[in-house]
Amino acid sequence: MKLARRLSVVEPSPTLAVSAKAAKLKAEGIDVVSFGAGEPDFDTPVHIKEAAKKALDAGATKYTLVEGTVPLRKAVAKWIGNAHGFTVDPSEVIVSSGAKQSIFNAVFALIDEGDEVIIPTPAWVSYNDIVKLAGGRPVNVPTKAEENFQVRVDDVAKAITPRTKMILVCSPSNPTGAIYDEETLRGLAKLAVEKNVWLMTDDIYRTLVYGDGKFFQPATISPDVRSHTLIIDGVSKAFAMTGWRVGFTVAPKHVVEAMATIQGQSTTHAAAVAQAAALAAIEGPTDELEKMRVEFDKRRKVMVARLREIPGVTCVEPKGAFYAFPNLSAFIGKKTPEGKKIENDVQLCEWLIEAARVAVVMGSAFHAPGFVRLSYATSMKNVEEGVRRMAEALPKLT
């Protein structure tokens, strides 16, 4: 029996594939340092887990409203509103099973067959495929490392056609760690209003900002911009709650209602106990969040410094999230000690995991061939050891 044709336009997640391969080798007793998954190595803070236990005892085992529990939607409205300085009504909030489902639902609610979505690259692996699954056409607008991966507003403007329905940006960025500056985001917001297209901002890393990095949410510019903006957020990254699967969308009420229609025919709602945990997270103390952010920052500095010490490697300083995105294109075309030519970044990553026991994600998965992504959401010990192994292995390519 044939599978659905829609599967022909998508690929399994490369980041999950890299993590799975590293896990398999570890299960076989092989010492592998994995920089694959974008998942904090910290445990979920205790007060959040305790709140979930109490919620279970109190009966958080039943269906909730499709849009999410009333207390959580009210709390998200307040949390997002306080973060950005405007009022959010709970009717403008929908809770989903992770920010990925939030993006999926929003795209399926707004994108028709043949509609175009502009996505600056390098970009998270799932954006293009979600758009394709909805029948849309992703239009990738490349950015440059030497420009700190800031998209040029003029390039986005040139990519807009009568079929353009949405501009999708992620800041801080997965995979580059870049933060879009205010001028760029104001320019994109102006385009969205003038061309009457949606601006979707993936803010899942907005609290993970370092050094002189500064987060800016374009919906704060004006009511017009806000009426064109969908804000994606959640608890996965900042609160170390990846497995709880809770994400949020803040959008105009009619968009939230449309997303609820789609969600009602798929997952129905995020798990009741996970919603209770998310409520405790965003209403609770933030001291653990700051401890994690500070530790990420320490790892960031060490990882970038050590990568830059490797001859042939260049690396733009990431200002947010927990990824470094070095350029390893100098090693493409070289040969391994066994005489095999490295043809591309996929083969380079395969060689690194075999020869150096280090797992990194190929840049081509993010539409940036020649680069690789390393997550420093792992221990300092792993950061130091993993980059040391890379520094030892890469010069062997000649």
pLDDT tens digits, 327-339: 999 999 999 999 9
Task: Determine the Cα–Cα distance for residues 374 and 310; give it in Å rounded to an integer.
Answer: 15
Predicted pLDDT at 12:
76
Instruction: Domains for the chain: give ranges and CATH numbers.
Output: 5-43+288-396 (3.90.1150.10), 61-283 (3.40.640.10)
Q: Determine the 3-state secondary structure of 164 from DSSP.
A: strand
Taking only the tens place, the pLDDT of each residue in 266-289 is 999 999 999 999 999 999 999 999
pTM (2 d.p.): 0.95
Taking only the tens place, the pLDDT of each residue in 128-170 is 999 999 999 999 999 999 999 999 999 999 999 999 999 999 9
Please give the average per-residue pLDDT across 212-238, as a whole number: 98
Q: Which two tokens stand for residue 362?
A: 């190929």
Q: Is the pLDDT of residue 395 over 80?
A: yes
Residue pair 258/104 in contact by the 8 Å Cβ criterion: no
Q: Is the pLDDT of residue 88 over 90?
A: yes
Per-residue confidence band for 7, with pLDDT thresholds at 50, 70 and 90: confident
What phi-psi label fits residue 40: left (phi over 0), alpha (psi between -120 and 50 degrees) or beta? beta
Please give the average per-residue pLDDT across 34-53, as a whole number: 95
Residue pair 219/229 in contact by the 8 Å Cβ criterion: yes
Residue by residue, DSSP assigns 360-387 as -EEGGGGT-TTBEEEE--S-HHHHHHHH
Predicted pLDDT at 77:
98
Of 7-11, 232-236, 294-298, the one with minimum mean pLDDT is 7-11
Q: Of 42, 38, 8, 36, which Cα lies nearest the Cα of 23?
A: 36
Task: Determine the Cα–Cα distance for residues 188 and 156; give it in Å rounded to an integer.
Answer: 8
Residue with tokens 């807009």: 160
Residue with tokens 């190595």: 41
